[in-house]
Amino acid sequence: MAVFSCEQIKALAPDAASFASACRVAKRTKTLISFGRSSRAVWGEYSCRYSRRSNSRVQIDLTTCECSCFCSDYKFPCKHILALMLLESEAKISESVEPDWVVNWLNEQAERKSLKAQKDAEREAKRNAKAQKIVDSTEVAKRKSASKRTADKRAKQVAEGFDELKIFLSDLIRGGVVNLERSWNTRKMFEERSKRLIDAKAPGVAALVEQCGDRLWDGEDWRERLLGRLGRLALLVEAYSKIDDAPEDLASEIRQTIGWKIPQKDVLASGERIEDRWFHLGATRIVGKRFQTTSSWMIGERTGRLAHALNFESERQISLDALNAPSVPLEGALRFYPGVVKLRALWEQASPPIPRPSHITPTPKFALTIPEFFANVAERLGRNPWLERFPALLRGVVVRPRVVQSWRRSFCEDYVLYDAQGNFMRIEAKDAVDKEVFWLFVAASADRAIEVFGEWDDNENKLKLLSGWDCGRALIVDGNPA
Amino acid sequence: MRESTIKEAFVGSRQDESEIWRLLLQCGAESTADVASRPTPPDATVVDFALDERAPLNDEEYWTTLATFRNVFDDRSPTHIFVREIGACNEPFNYFLERIATSGKRVPSERLYSFAKELDNLGFAPLDLWLAPRFQDASVRIFSLLFGRLGLWASKISPKDELRRFLPTLLPTEVFESSADEQKATRAWREGTDDERVAVLAQLRRRDPARARELLSEDWKNLKKPGVKENCLKELLVGLSESDLEFLEGLEKKTRDPFTLVILRDLLARIPTSKRAQTTFERAEAFLKNPDALNALGTTEEERARFNYESPDGRSLRAAFLALGRVPLARWEEVLAASPKEIRARLLDAQELPTFSAAQLRSFALFGASDEWFEVCCESFADVFREEPYEKRYRTWSLLYLTNPLVHHAVERFLFAALKTGRVDYFQRLRAIWNEKERVFGTRLSFEYRLLQKAIQYAPYPWSEEQARLFCDMLLEQIASPERKIPQDAKAIFAPGGSPSDEELDRRRRLFAYVLAYAPRAVREERRDFLAKGIDAFTPDEGLVKLCLDACAWRERFDRLFGSPENEVRSSI
What is the distance between the alpha carbons of residues B73 and B122, in angstroms, rounded to a whole number?
10
DSSP character for B570? P
**CB contact (8 A) between residue B42 and residue A378:** no
Helical spans, DSSP H, in B290-423: 301-305, 317-325, 329-336, 340-347, 353-367, 371-386, 388-403, 408-415
Q: Which residue of B has its CA nearest to A94?
A: B542
Residue A103 has pLDDT above 70, yes or no: yes
**A375 compared with B385, residue with greater pLDDT:** A375
pLDDT digit string (tens) for B118-128? 555 555 543 34
> What are the b/e assignments for A61-100, b being 16+ CB within 10 Å?
bbebbbbebbbeeebbbbbbbbbbbbbbbeebbeeeebbe
For residue A107, what are the CA distances in angstroms to A39, A61, A119, A412? 15, 11, 18, 54
**B448 compared with A227, residue with greater pLDDT:** A227
Q: How deeply is A350 buried, as exposed, middle or buried, from its count of CB atoms within 10 A (0-12, 13-18, 19+)?
A: exposed
Which whole number is the average pLDDT over B443-464? 68
Residue A173 has pLDDT above 70, yes or no: yes
Q: How deeply is B125 buried, as exposed, middle or buried, from its count of CB atoms within 10 A (0-12, 13-18, 19+)?
A: buried
**CB contact (8 A) between residue B109 and residue A370:** no
> What are the b/e assignments for A293-327, b being 16+ CB within 10 Å?
ebbbbbbbbeeebbbbbebebeeebbbebbbebee
pLDDT digit string (tens) for A315-345? 565 554 554 444 456 788 899 999 888 899 9
Q: Residue A326's pLDDT is what?
A: 41
Residue A392 has pLDDT above 90, yes or no: yes
Helix axes B408-415, B441-458, angle to 10 degrees: 100
* A residues 402-421 closer than 8 Å to B (CB): 402-403, 407-412, 416, 418, 421
Which of B109, B130, B167, B503 should we substitute to test contact with A (largest number of A Cβ atoms within 10 Å)? B109
**β-pair partners for B325:** none
Per-residue pLDDT band for A358 (boundaries 50, 70, 90) equals: very low
Per-residue pLDDT band for A69 (boundaries 50, 70, 90) equals: confident
What is the count of residue pairs from A and B with beta carbons less than 8 Å apart?
178
Which whole number is the average pLDDT over A22-46? 81
Residue A206 has pLDDT above 80, yes or no: yes
**CB contact (8 A) between residue B29 and residue A235:** yes
Which whole number is the average pLDDT over A148-166? 90
Phi, psi dihedral angles at B26 (to 5 degrees): -65, -40
- Select from A463, A455, A459 the least CA-distant residue to A417: A463
**CB contact (8 A) between residue A228 and residue B157:** no
Which of B157, B160, B182 should we substitute to test contact with A (largest number of A Cβ atoms within 10 Å)? B157
Q: Residue B464's pLDDT is what?
A: 78
Which of B32, B114, B184 should we substitute to test contact with A (largest number of A Cβ atoms within 10 Å)? B32
Q: Which residue of A has its CA nearest to B17?
A: A170
**CB contact (8 A) between residue B1 and residue A224:** yes
Which of A241, A414, A447 should we substitute to test contact with B (largest number of B Cβ atoms within 10 Å)? A447
Q: Residue A53's pLDDT is what?
A: 56
Q: Which of B15, B27, B130 sits opposite A231 (nearest CB)?
A: B27
What is the distance between the alpha carbons of residues B478 and B471, in angstroms, rounded to a whole number?
11
Residue B530 has pLDDT above 70, yes or no: yes
Q: What predicted TM-score, i.e. pTM, was given to this entire model?
A: 0.49
What is the distance between the alpha carbons of residues A480 and A467, in angstroms, rounded to a whole number?
8
**B52 compared with A40, residue with greater pLDDT:** A40
**CB contact (8 A) between residue B30 and residue A231:** yes
Per-residue pLDDT band for B166 (boundaries 50, 70, 90) equals: very low
Chain A hits for B40, Cβ within 8 Å: 370-371, 374, 423-425
**CB contact (8 A) between residue A481 and residue B110:** no
| Chain B contact for A231 (CB, 8 A cutoff) | yes
Q: Which of B27, B28, B154 sits opposite A439 (nearest CB)?
A: B154
What is the distance between the alpha carbons of residues A325 and A319, in angstroms, rounded to a whole number?
10
Q: Which of A169, A223, A371 sits opposite B24 (nearest CB)?
A: A169
Q: Which of B25, B503, B542 sits opposite A238 (nearest CB)?
A: B25
Which whole number is the average pLDDT over B152-176? 34
- The residues, any chain, with a CB within 8 Å of residue A437's CB and separated by 6 or more, are A465, A476, A479
Q: Which residue of B has its CA nearest to A377?
A: B36
Q: Which of A30, A234, A409 sits opposite B159 (nearest CB)?
A: A409
ipTM for this prediction: 0.70
Average predicted confidence (pLDDT) for chain B: 65
Per-residue pLDDT band for A162 (boundaries 50, 70, 90) equals: very high
**CB contact (8 A) between residue B25 and residue A234:** yes
**CB contact (8 A) between residue B110 and residue A173:** no
DSSP character for A123? H
Q: Residue A39's pLDDT is what?
A: 86
Chain A hits for B154, Cβ within 8 Å: 439, 442-443
**CB contact (8 A) between residue B32 and residue A447:** no
Q: Residue B75's pLDDT is what?
A: 46
Q: Which of A174, A407, A422 sits opposite B42 (nearest CB)?
A: A422
CA distance B43 to chain A (A): 5
Chain B hits for A235, Cβ within 8 Å: 25, 28-29, 32
Which of A376, A410, A456 should we substitute to test contact with B (largest number of B Cβ atoms within 10 Å)? A410
Chain B hits for A407, Cβ within 8 Å: 184, 187
Contacts from B209-213 at CB under 8 Å and sequence distance 24+? Answer: B209/B238, B209/B239, B209/B241, B209/B243, B209/B244, B210/B243, B211/B182, B212/B236, B213/B243, B213/B244, B213/B247
